[in-house]
Amino acid sequence: MTSTAMSPRATTQQEPSGPSLRPRRRRGDRMPYWLVLPSVVVIAAVLAYPLFQLLSLSLQQYRLKELLKGKGEFIGLKNYQAILTDPFFWQVVLRSVLFTAVAVTATIGIGTGIALLMRRMNRAMRIALNVVLILVWAIPGLVSIVVFQWMVDFEFGVVNYLLTKLGLDFDKHNWFENPVQGFAVIAALVVWGALPFVVITLYAGLTQVPRELEEAAMVDGATGRQVFWNVTMPVLRPVYVILTSLSVIWDFMVFQQIWVMLNGRPTPDYYTIGVYSFVQSFGVNDYGKGSAIAVIMVLMLLSVTWIYIRQMVKIGEVK
Amino acid sequence: MKFRKLLIASAAAGALALSACASGDANGGSSSPATDAAGTLTVWLQTDAQQGWPELVDAASAAVKKQYPNVTVNVEYQTWPDHLTKLDAALAGSTPPDVVELGNTEMTKYMAAGALADLTSQKGNFDNSATWLNALTESATFDGALYGVPYYAGSRAVIYNTALYTKAGIASAPATYDEFISDNDKLMAANASDKNFSAYYFPGKNWYGAMPWVYDQGGAIAVQDGGQWKGSLDSAEAQKGLEALKQVVLKYSKADKTGDESKQDQAFAQGSIAAIYGNGWERGVIIDPKTGNPDLKDSLGAYPLPSLAKPGTTMPAFLGGSDLAVTSKSANQAWAAAWIKAFTSTESMTAMVKKGVLPNTTSLLDLVAPADQPFAKSAANSWFVPTSPNWANVEKANVLPNMLVDIFTEKKTVAQATADASAEITKILNGS
Amino acid sequence: MSASLPMQTAQVSEADHQVVRVPRRRFRPRHLAGRVAVNVTGLIVIVVMAFPVYWLVISSFKPGKDLLTRTPQFLPTHPTLANYADALSRPYFWTSVRNSLIVTLVTVALSLVIAFLAALAVSRMRFHGRTAYIVMIIMVQMVPLTALIISLYLMLNAVHLTDQLVGVIFTYLAFVLPFTIWTLRGFVGNIPPELEEAALVDGCTRMQAFRRIVFPLVAPGLVATSVFAFIQAWNEYVLAYVLLSSQGKQTLTVWLAAFTTQKGTEWGPLMAASVLTAIPVVVFFLLVQNRMASGLTAGAVKG
């Protein structure tokens, strides 16, 4: 990574800016439509029908029998009603929200720390860390979950072994007997798995922050924290919006980590919304209900990330 | 060896069939049994066949080819994870597979939904159909009709370390429940210095290993009464069996009371475990250098669990395995049935037995190698899960593992845990 | 984005640009103690992050009985290549590698081009439907894939694109594009349009302005998104499994799933195979990283 190479960019910051020099904002210019066209075509071609089907199935009684016939029975909002009036569903939602809050905060916090640290490391260490991050990311999900499972195994786990060596009583400690501890292990796995993506994206974003701005602010007596919030953060904001929203989306829907870690037999204490929808719906072929849960999940995520989305939309319009 | 020759010949023919299908024939076949009709027969088998007995697959395809010369057989191997998702998608589409392999616990929901063709009238055409293993036939039967052909079985028994038994002064495998208990006591005493030692290693969630105690006493997971299911683990018989198991687990097992059996073979391979309750093929896992410890090869034995309720007999084992079915949407029903018939023929099954697989029929159990006989014996006396289309929901809800964990960790008494589980099972099985 | 930079920082940059450019120093702590602290913390981060990977790699060199032991083996006591030999000797390994490479590389290349174009439009231009477009991009990422699989299969089956790599590539594109567009939008948005406009005033064509000014500044974003797209496509399993039926067309993840049979999973060979499948990702990353880094320097100098 060439950190020095980025410095000339700072010279760009003080080019004269004036509203008169913005020829491409003209109304009626067809350019933007041509530019977004390919993406709209691909996304619409692949996803329009399945998304329409998702909405339509959520309003139907649709199980294996109906799947074979290719025709379900319209039952209005009954699937939604059944899900939303089940008190267990709300317990699960609450658990998912808590898990998401903890995991996302940890992911973004630790990710920021590592990305900032990376700028200060020497080159050899930075490359080493980069390779480690990519390896973490590149290992098939299922396998990394199993490695974690082995590491915290109650009988053969290296974690219990090391903690016992340190003089703590962790011999035959079962990490999953108490769901709080169990979720701590799962959160560690989720955060560990998400860090490469977060750190690499943040680090790429950091290279766009003009060094001169930060250093000049330092020279002017700003503390490191002030520099981060006032200089670095504004440039990184769009990247943070993306990373946080995506982490929220992924962690809220977390399924595979819990499912595989608990050998496909999680007790109800371990149900998050992702596990619940699988168990209640996909596992037993109630596609109608499964679709309804998916729609509810999208609506919940939209409401959580709405503030961000509005900001995203605004950011562009301000200019 | 006539059979060997047949195999070689059919393998060659199978290779021809495979290369023929590479050139592809897009014409959908018709279900008319005319022998000169052309088309492609699609068979979905799990990867086990590809790794274990691919030549038998080729032989079956060759046999069909001989009967219907213009048919190409296209065998597609499926992986276990997510194969049902793929099947659901294919069933919804216009070109589902003609023959499909399903795990025996996966059959019910497809039978109930009408996804599989009714084979009742053809039952007699399949070899050994009168002597198919009961529990497998049961898994392929719904509302009195037959929707699948038993393919192979997996049966459970006690797998034990003969060296550890000998060292504790035990000369032969226990034949009665009393001996089972006294042997375990001897083993614990002889290995008192090893704090990790389990005479009978039993992870808490191993419900396949727990239910034999229930069925042994005449109990059951659920009983059907006039179209209604009722959870029956709270019966006096079931509770008696589970109480006995609880004592065994508390006294002789150091396994994770909240864990499951997925790592028991690796644990067994480490030593410090005298016996586990497992599937016949787990012995292969234990001594395979890739997954276990080949040094244990000569000190591995097995015995069926001796019955507590009926001395002189064994506890009924849960029978795993696979069935073969024809999809109801298949346009090639006659070819599909012919392929299954060839693949499950006596010759084919005999060859499979030689590979250490339990056959689909009691008539071939005698051919099973002496070392596998304890499993063959438990296969003859087996139980199966309730064949309600909602049974999958009971499994998904983990009712049985959760109940066992509550019992072994003494969070609940046996009476309380079984009452709760029964109520839940009744509710789920009768749910819409 | 540039407009939302706080005013004072813009002023700082005005004031100092001639002064600060001279030292051209790296962003490193000046004091020895600080540097030691940074590198020690860095080392701890590396060790913690790498430990599970390390555990996976050494496990792939252990025979079966050493995979789970009561006293953990931090180095294999009976190192063996048997797991690798077993993995490599399985049928369809190389065809699967080829299929995975085709699917992944085409997906990455197409997604970068398409997303870059879209990102330019979204971050630079005002047009009707822009808001709707952004909301669509975001919402698409919230829908759980499992809920769409069957409809996707039926649709592709109807147009005869099942069991074809093209069908899988299109599907992956649709799932990767929202993220790539969104991320590149952030990077493009950080480039002041004035810069390009100045280049246009200086007589560059629009293409030249893109190539010399926009592209180099977006390069780090392209690296991040291409790695993201690569890994998403490389590691995807369920769609590939459902959409591709013949073994000659399967991708590596589907091939990996065959390590699980009725008898359980062969962990040693699976771990060896996972190490093998991770290697192309690392190679891709290092290649892209170097390319982009050199392109970056060149571009910056020209600009």
Q: Three-state DSSP class for A60?
A: strand
**Rg for chain A (alpha carbons), in Å?**
24
**ipTM of predicted assembly, 2 dp:** 0.82
Taking contacts as CB-CB distances below 8 angstroms, the residues of chain C near A213 are 9, 12-13
Query: In angstroms, rounded to a whole number, what is the distance separating the alpha carbons of residues B423 and B416?
Result: 11
Chain C positions in Cβ-Cβ contact with residue B284 (cut-off 8 Å): 263
Q: Say which DSSP state B280 is in.
A: T
A64 at the B interface (CB within 8 A)?
Answer: yes
Using alpha carbons only, give the angle B374, B377, B382 rounded to the nearest 5 degrees: 120
Nearest to B14 by CA among B53, B48, B60: B60
Which residue of B201, B290, B352 is the best one to mutate when testing the C interface, meaning the one whose CB has the most C CBs within 10 A?
Answer: B290
Q: What mean pLDDT do residues A279-298 have?
A: 82
- Side chain identity at residue B405, one-letter code: V
Identity at A203, one-letter amino acid code:
Y
Residues of chain B neighbouring A283 (CB-CB closer than 8 A): 392, 396
Chain A within 8 Å of B392 (Cβ-Cβ)?
yes
How far apart are the C-alpha atoms of B277 and B191, rounded to whole Å? 20
Angle at B328 between CA B323 and CA B329, to 5 degrees: 125
Query: Would the CB atoms of A201 and C183 count as touching at under 8 Å?
Result: yes
CB within 8 Å: B256 and A279: no
Better-scored residue on pLDDT, A132 or A283: A132
Q: Kindly report, residue by residue over C177-193, the tens digit of the pLDDT.
A: 998 998 888 888 878 77
Report how far residue A170's alpha carbon sits from residue A190's, in angstroms, rounded to the nearest whole number.
23
Q: Are A198 and A247 in contact (CB under 8 A)?
A: yes
- B260 to A263: CB separation less than 8 angstroms, yes or no: yes
Summarised one tens digit per residue, pLDDT across range A222-269 is 888 888 888 888 888 878 888 898 899 999 989 889 988 988 778 788
Lookup: tokens for C268: 């040693």
User: Are the Cβ atoms of C63 and B289 closer than 8 angstroms?
Assistant: yes
Q: Which residues contact B354 (CB under 8 A, 6 or more apart)?
A: B367
Other CB atoms within 10 A of residue B1 CB: 6
pLDDT at C65: 85
Using a CB-CB cut-off of 8 Å, the residues of chain B touching C242 are 82, 85-86, 89
Q: Do A200 and C224 touch (CB under 8 A)?
A: yes
Exposure of A56 by Cβ count < 10 A (0-12 exposed, 13-18 middle, 19+ buried)? Answer: middle
| Least confident span in B130-139, C68-77, C290-299 | C290-299
HEC sequence for chain C: CHHHCCHHHHHHHHHHHHHHHCCCCCCCCCCHHHHHHHHHHHHHHHHHHHHHHHHHHHHHCCCHHHCCCCCCCCCCCCCCCHHHHHHHCCCCHHHHHHHHHHHHHHHHHHHHHHHHHHHHHHHHCCCCCHHHHHHHHHHHCCCCHHHCHHHHHHHHHHCCCCCCHHHHHHHHHHHHHHHHHHHHHHHHHCCCHHHHHHHHHCCCCHHHHHHHHHHHHHHHHHHHHHHHHHHHHHHCCHHHHHHCCCHHHCCHHHHHHCCEECCEECHHHHHHHHHHHHHHHHHHHHHHHHHHHHHHHHHHHHC
* Percent of chain C residues past pLDDT 70, beyond the cut: 86
Contacts of B50 in chain C (CB under 8 A): 91, 258
Burial classification of residue A299, based on how many CB atoms lie within 10 Å of its CB (0-12 exposed, 13-18 middle, 19 or more buried): exposed
Average pLDDT, chain C: 82
* Rounded Cα gap, residues B182 and B170, in angstroms: 10
Q: Which two tokens stand for residue C72?
A: 């953990």
B 35-94 residues with CB below 8 A of A?
A: 85, 88, 91-92
Identity of the residue numbered B82: D
pLDDT (tens place) for every residue of chain B, 432 residues total: 343 333 333 333 333 333 333 333 333 333 445 677 899 999 999 999 998 999 999 999 999 999 999 999 999 999 887 898 899 999 998 889 999 999 998 899 899 999 999 999 999 999 999 999 988 999 999 989 999 999 999 899 999 999 999 999 999 999 999 999 999 999 999 999 998 999 999 999 999 999 999 999 999 999 988 889 999 999 999 999 999 999 999 999 999 998 888 889 989 998 899 999 999 889 988 998 888 899 999 999 999 999 999 998 999 999 889 999 999 999 999 999 999 999 999 999 999 999 888 999 999 999 998 888 999 888 888 888 998 888 878 887 789 999 999 999 999 999 999 999 999 999 999 875
Q: Tell which B residues from 262 to 281 touch A, by Cβ distance under 8 Å.
A: 262-263, 266-267, 270
Q: What is the pLDDT of residue B431?
A: 78
A293-302, B406-415, C201-210, range with the lowest pLDDT: C201-210
Least confident among A21-25, B150-154, B413-417, C144-148? A21-25
β-sheet bridge partners, residue B327: B116
- Hey, are the CB atoms on A154 and B256 less than 8 Å from each other? yes
Pairwise CB contact (< 8 Å): B329 & A65: no
Average pLDDT over residues A21-35: 65
CB B128 within 8 A of CB B361: yes
Q: Using alpha carbons, list the distances in angstroms from residue C157 to B90, B115, C93, C149, C160.
A: 9, 19, 26, 12, 5
Contact between A118 and C212 (Cβ < 8 Å): no
- The distance of C212 to chain A (nearest Cα, Å) reads 12
> Is pLDDT larger for residue B29 or for residue A89?
A89
Residues B312 and B326: their CA atoms lie apart, in Å, by 41
> In this structure, what token pair is assigned to residue C212?
């010399």
Task: Give CA–CA dist B137/B155, Å, rounded.
Answer: 15
User: How far apart, in whole angstroms, are the C-alpha atoms of residue B133 and residue A278?
Assistant: 33
Return d(Cα B17, Cα B19) in angstroms, integer: 6
Please tell me the distance from the alpha carbon of residue C83 to that of residue C64, in angstroms, as a whole number. Answer: 9
**Does the beta-carbon distance from B398 to A63 stay under 8 Å?**
no
Residues of A in contact with B267 (CB under 8 A): 155-156
Helix (H) or strand (E) holding B151: strand B149-161
Write the DSSP symbol of residue A231. Answer: I
Identify the pLDDT of residue A129. 92
Choose from B83, B253, B258, B327 for mutation: most chain A CBs within 10 A: B258
pLDDT value at residue C18: 35
E strand residue ranges, B310-360: 317-326
Q: What is the largest CA-CA distance in chain B?
A: 73
Contact predicate B153/B384, CB 8 Å: no
Chain A hits for C152, CB-CB cut-off 8 Å, are 46, 50
**pLDDT class of C258 with cuts at 50, 70, 90:** confident
Mean pLDDT confidence for C220-247: 89
Give the residue from A4, A11, A30, A36 with the most C CB atoms within 10 Å of its CB, the best one to mutate: A36
Residue B356, phi-psi category: left (phi > 0), alpha (psi -120 to 50), beta (remainder)? left
| Single-letter amino acid code for the residue at A112 | T
Of C221, C45, C244, B394, nearest to A128 by C-alpha is C45
Distance, in Å, from the CA atom of B207 to the CA atom of B221, rounded to the nearest integer, reads 11
> Are A242 and A309 a contacting pair, CB within 8 Å?
no
Looking at residue A282, what DSSP letter applies?
G
Distance from CA of A40 to the nearest CA of B (A): 26
Phi and psi at residue A60, to the nearest 5°: -125, 155
Give the pair of three-digit tokens for residue C245: 């039926």
Whether residue C214 has pLDDT greater than 80: no
Strand partners, B317: B382
A164, with CB counted inside 10 A (0-12, 13-18, 19+), is middle
Q: Is residue B158 within 8 Å of residue B137, measured between CB atoms?
A: no
Pick from C69, C70, C258: CB nearest B79:
C258
On the question of pLDDT at A170 being above 80, the answer is yes
B160-198 exposure pattern, b = at least 16 Cβ within 10 A, e = fewer:
bbbbbbeebebeebbeebeebbebbebbbebbeeeeebb
pLDDT tens-digit readout, C95-121: 999 999 999 999 999 999 999 999 989
Predicted pLDDT at C275:
92
* 3-class DSSP state of B267: helix
Q: What is the pLDDT of residue B34?
A: 66
pLDDT confidence of A210, banded at 50, 70, 90? confident
Give the integer Cα–Cα distance in Å for B202 and B253: 6
Is residue C144 within 8 Å of residue A277, measured between CB atoms? yes
